[in-house]
């Protein structure tokens, strides 16, 4: 909570105006699953046993989406099933790729399904950003969609 409050202060956003988005990492920011499949079925790019999470490619436009969400005023909370022991390597990877976030929560319980009345089934970032725009048209700041398009030119 302190990280978030600090971030809010830093970005000059009023506490009551903040909308948080909780985002998974593997499969949403990193293309971990496709990378793993490739290893299993075609032995590319490396043996599955050597596969490291921080060597996986990014999910397309993940960086642009997080940048745009941040600029639109959302608080970004990353919630991952990676264990606490992986925090350092995860933070390093996030910093290397310049991902903005307010809080990183590890140890999300492994489950076959997450049932949540605020849930969204991620397929790709284009669809996700469209859906966020539709659900939360009142979010302050510049248009989420406009920022997303802008950042996409850079990623």
Kindly list the residues in this chain that would bind Mg ion in the complex (CB under 5 A): 24, 26-27
Q: Which is nearer to Mg ion, 18 or 23 (CB)?
A: 23
Q: Which is nearer to Mg ion, 27 or 100 (CB)?
A: 27
Q: Give the containing element (helix H, strand E) for 19.
A: strand 19-23
Q: Which is nearer to Mg ion, 71 or 99 (CB)?
A: 99
> Smallest gap, in angstroms, from Cβ of residue 140 to Mg ion?
29
Helix axes 62-71, 125-135, angle to 10 degrees: 20
> Smallest gap, in angstroms, from Cβ of residue 147 to Mg ion?
25
- Residues across the chain: 155
Q: Which residues contact 32 (CB under 8 A, 6 or more apart)?
A: 26, 53, 56
Q: Name residue, tokens 């999910």.
A: 59
Q: Which is nearer to Mg ion, 114 or 136 (CB)?
A: 114
> Smallest gap, in angstroms, from Cβ of residue 24 to Mg ion?
4
The answer to whether residues 104 and 91 touch, using CB atoms and an 8 Å cutoff, is yes
> Smallest gap, in angstroms, from Cβ of residue 78 to Mg ion?
11
Question: Torsion-angle region of residue 88: left (phi > 0), alpha (psi -120 to 50) or beta?
Answer: alpha
């Amino acid at each position: 909570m302190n990280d978030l409050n600090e971030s809010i202060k830093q970005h000059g956003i009023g506490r009551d105006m903040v909308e948080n988005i909780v985002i998974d990492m593997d499969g949403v920011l990193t293309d971990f699953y496709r990378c793993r499949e490739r290893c299993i079925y075609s032995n590319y790019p490396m043996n599955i046993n050597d596969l490291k999470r921080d060597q996986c490619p990014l999910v397309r436009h993940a960086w642009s989406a997080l940048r745009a969400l941040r600029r639109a005023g959302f608080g970004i909370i990353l919630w991952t099933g990676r264990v606490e022991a992986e925090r350092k390597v995860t933070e390093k990877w996030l910093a290397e790729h310049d991902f903005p976030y307010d809080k990183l929560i590890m140890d999300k319980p492994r489950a076959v399904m997450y049932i949540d009345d605020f849930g969204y089934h991620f397929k790709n970032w284009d669809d996700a950003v469209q859906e966020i725009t539709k659900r939360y048209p009142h979010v302050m700041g510049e248009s989420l969609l406009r920022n997303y398009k802008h950042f996409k030119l850079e990623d």
